[in-house]
Amino acid sequence: MKYIFGLCVLLLVFGCKKAEKNTLEIKKKKEYVMYEASEMTLLMNQMYELNQKIKEDILAGNIPEEFPDKFLKIHTAELSNFKTRDENFKNFSKLFIETEKEIFNTSSNVPVEKRFNNMVNLCVSCHKTECTGPIPRIKKLLIK
C-alpha cells in the first residue's frame, strides 16, 4: 500500500512539474500584435490638428488663406483593412474638400466661423455613417 501511495505521489509531482513547464512555454509563445494606424487614420489625425490650428487662427481674428494640399490625400490614402472606399465615402470626401476650400475663400460673404463650422458638421455627418468613434473629438472643433 505504501508503494502504491508513493507511486501516486511521484506521478502527481512529476505531472505537475510538466504542466507548469507547458504553461511557461505557452506564456513565452504568446505574441502581442501592436496596432498599426492606417494611412487614412494618420491623415485624419493630421487634418484634425491642422483644423485645430485653423480654428485658433479664426478665433484670433486671422482669416486662413492657404488650403492645405495634404487634405487632397483623402481620395487616395489607404484605409484600414476592414474599410472600403464606397460611393458614400467618395461623396463625403468630395464634399469635405469643397467645404474645406470654402474656408479659404476670401471673397465669400459667409462669415469664416460659419464656413468652418459647416466643414466640422460635414465631418460629423460622414462619421455618423462610417467610423463613429471620433465624433466627440470632432465636435470640439466647432466654433461657438
The tens digit of pLDDT for each residue in 87-140 reads 999 999 999 999 999 999 999 999 999 999 999 999 999 999 878 889 999 999
CA–CA dist 138, 124 (Å, integer):
7
Q: What pLDDT score was predicted for residue 66?
A: 92
Q: Per-domain residue ranges for the chain?
A: 1-31, 39-139
Say yes or no to pLDDT of 70 above 80. yes
Reduced to 3 states (helix: H, G, I; strand: E, B; else coil), residue 29 is: helix
Single out the residue of 7, 73, 80 nearest to residue 41, CA to CA.
80
Say yes or no to pLDDT of 24 above 70. no
